[in-house]
Amino acid sequence: MSEQTDYAATFSLVDSDGDGLISADEFLSLMSNLGEESTPEQAVAAVREMDSDGDDRVSLTEFTAYMARNHA
Ligand SMILES: [Ca+2]
Ligand SMILES: [Ca+2]
């Protein structure tokens, strides 16, 4: 399995409504599923960090680029 495919699998887990974009709400439910205490503000900040086109949603392209940057 390539890393690219790996990221896509992770992405679809986080994207619970399947619209191809990760919202702050979806990120927040991921964190609570992982048992991490996270505030809505932290979720918004995390999404903003990954969001490169400024639509407040994380696309698979943005997610992959972020993961590649941070795991290089
Ligand atoms: Ca979504
Ligand atoms: Ca975006």
Q: What average pLDDT does the structure give for the chain?
A: 93
SS (H, E, C) the chain: CCHHHHHHHHHHHHCCCCCCEECHHHHHHHHHHCCCCCCHHHHHHHHHHHCCCCCCCEEHHHHHHHHHHHCC
Tokens 């679809």 label which residue? 12
| 63-72 pLDDT per residue, tens | 999 999 987 6
Residue 60: the pLDDT is 97
Instruction: Kindly give the distance from the C-alpha atom of residue 32 to the centroid of ligand 1, in angstroms, as a whole number.
Output: 16
Of the ligands numbered here, which is closest to the C-alpha atom of 25? 1
CATH of the domain at 39: 1.10.238.10
Q: How many distinct structural domains can be found in the chain?
A: 1
Residue 56: the pLDDT is 96
Q: What pTM, to 2 d.p., does this model score?
A: 0.85
Instruction: Kindly give the distance from the C-alpha atom of residue 28 to the centroid of ligand 2, in angstroms, as a whole number.
Output: 17
Instruction: Kindly give the distance from the C-alpha atom of residue 33 to the centroid of ligand 2, in angstroms, as a whole number.
Output: 23
**Structural domain of 7:** 3-70
* pLDDT(1) > 60: no
| 21-36 pLDDT per residue, tens | 999 999 999 999 999 9
